[in-house]
Amino acid sequence: MAELLRKIPKVDVLLAHPAARPLIAEAGRELFTSTVGAALEDLRSRIRAGAEASVEPEAILSEVGARLAARRAPGLGRAVNATGVILHTGLGRAVLPRAALEAVASEQKGYSLLEVERASGERSIRETHVVALLREITGAEAATVVNNNAGATLIALATLAKGREVITSRGQLVEIGGSFRIPDVMKESGATLVEVGTTNKTYAADYEGAVTERTALLLRVHTSNYRIVGFTHFPSLEELVALGRRRGIPVMDDLGSGAFIDLGPYGVTDEPTVQSSVRAGADVITFSGDKLLGGPQAGILVGRKETISRIRKNPLFRALRVDKLKLTALEAVLKLYLDRERLFRELPTLRMISMPLEECERRALALAARLKGLPGLSVEILDDASEFGGGSVPTQQIPTKVVAVRHASIPLGGLAERLRAGEPCVFARVQRERVLLDVRTLQEGEDAEIAASLARILGAG
């Protein structure tokens, strides 16, 4: 051990080594030197711990090069989603369409017309262009955008019901990811929650019976991440709106997922569209931009002009507002909704949802063909089911085809771990004694990347 420690080269020796020159040229002398110091310290620790370690300059500089490359690599690197979960929260939910990526790259490479009106040169509202599209698509009088749907819910409640009461059903006290609960956000908004009905049954009469002079809002929450089934009843939005009109109380509809398209033809039931809530007469409707809509993370509010105007004037609005990158991407996504044929072809979320099983089988056969022949790897195609994910459509799945692989000597967990550690990072499911690669959630060209990654893992390429 002492002999090995003495043989570790000094920093200045490594700095003068020919293999160091390209690393110094790329990283700079200061960063290179600090990285060498950290690598040498780790090397000493490994030697003292009795681990095998090389003290040759070439081996040390190879380690330094790997560390510098890791520093340059983006922390939010791209991932290949082979899990079959379309709106995978951990992997960023909705995949942005090419139109959105191109718009961001083109419109934001310099200054942009974020808050300036082109014709007059005067100050304008930053979400103007997005608002016009939202009104056209949904039929709402007005619209605005904040950073996410939690923010949309918070600012709507704080604006319309601070210091007063909000009536909602016990069966709709939703909790979403990150322990965001309707009762908690109600408290933070300054409103008082009034629960009516029971977990499985609530009637319009329950709402009406709870109305007092302190009632500020009737709230319906779409249970987008769970379903209560069986002996159930909840009043329709039309019933709540009728009650609200009689008693002079506004109605808020928190849709959560926020679909613009009827997904019934693709097996999705009980998922209301934003347009249906607008037609029902809700004063404000809130929903996410990065779920079934298929855009960037955003909280979208549409509804009556007076209501939306009040929300925009709330001091919280500036704290929750969206930046120029999101607005650019969202505008590009919304424009796709004006052309239905192009929409299903170019918006990844809807393309994956609507992909027929025959297309899944064709893609699975193509991926399996790439993988067959890799040493020690068994490959087969199985029937399975994809999920919507992202707190959307919780009880429903879409039939799919998966390519199931396993290796003669690598454990399943180890194979999945190596796929995640590769470049690009590949996420798959481990079920039924196999690693499952669901082709429904693969984007263009990713089947070739999976094949290349497995080839590297198995020493075949």
Residues 213 and 324 in one domain: yes
Residues 277 and 375 in one domain: no
At 429, which CATH number? 3.90.1150.110
pLDDT at 303 over 90: yes
Query: From the centroid of its chain, how far is CA 5?
Result: 49
Residues 48 and 141 in one domain: no
What does pTM read for this prediction? Answer: 0.88
pLDDT of res. 177:
65
Task: Provide the residue range defining the domain that includes 376.
Answer: 79-89+353-457
Cα torsion at 26, 27, 28, 29 (round to 10°)? -110
pLDDT of res. 461:
58
Among residues 315, 330, 346, the one where a domain terminates is 346
> Mean pLDDT, to the nearest integer, of 362-372?
97
Tokens of 404: 């199931």
* Lowest-confidence pick of 134-148, 275-289, 304-318, 409-423: 409-423
Among residues 346, 362, 397, the one where a domain terminates is 346
State the average pLDDT for the chain.
Answer: 93
Q: What would the pLDDT profile of 106-145 be if each residue is shown by its tens digit?
A: 999 999 999 999 999 999 999 999 999 999 999 999 999 9
| Beta bridge pairs of residue 169 | 196
Q: What percent of the chain has pLDDT over 70?
A: 98
Angle at 252 between CA 250 and CA 256, to 5 degrees: 175
Residues 246 and 372 in one domain: no
Measured N-to-C along each axis, helices 98-107 and 324-336 cross at an angle, to the nearest 10 degrees, of 140
Residues 17 and 103 in one domain: no
Q: Kindly tell me the sign of the dihedral angle through the C-alpha atoms of 36, 42, 47, 48.
A: positive
> Mean pLDDT, to the nearest integer, of 292-300?
96
Query: How far is 164 from 362, CA to CA, in rounded Å?
Result: 57
Helix, strand or coil, per DSSP, at residue 12? helix
Q: For residue 207, what pLDDT band results from cuts at 50, 70 and 90?
A: very high
pLDDT of res. 403:
98
Q: Kindly tell me the sign of the dihedral angle through the C-alpha atoms of 295, 299, 303, 304.
A: negative
pLDDT of res. 70:
85
pLDDT of res. 415:
95
Measured N-to-C along each axis, helices 446-457 and 357-371 cross at an angle, to the nearest 10 degrees, of 30
Q: What would the pLDDT profile of 147-198 be if each residue is shown by its tens digit?
A: 999 999 999 999 999 999 999 999 888 877 666 788 888 889 999 999 999 9
> Mean pLDDT, to the nearest integer, of 240-250?
97
Residues 139 and 204 in one domain: yes
pLDDT of res. 199:
86
Query: How far is 214 from 333, CA to CA, in rounded Å?
Result: 41
pLDDT at 51 over 70: yes
At 186, which CATH number? 3.40.640.10
Residues 180 and 310 in one domain: yes
Residues 276 and 160 in one domain: yes
pLDDT at 55 over 80: yes
Q: For residue 350, what pLDDT band results from cuts at 50, 70 and 90?
A: very high
Residues 256 and 373 in one domain: no
> Mean pLDDT, to the nearest integer, of 227-253?
91
Residue from 243, 257, 175, 255 nearest 211 by CA: 243
Strands 397-407 and 377-387: antiparallel
Residues 328 and 248 in one domain: yes
Residues 184 and 317 in one domain: yes
Number of domains composing the chain: 3
Among residues 18, 38, 72, the one where a domain terminates is 72
pLDDT of res. 422:
87
Residues 155 and 284 in one domain: yes
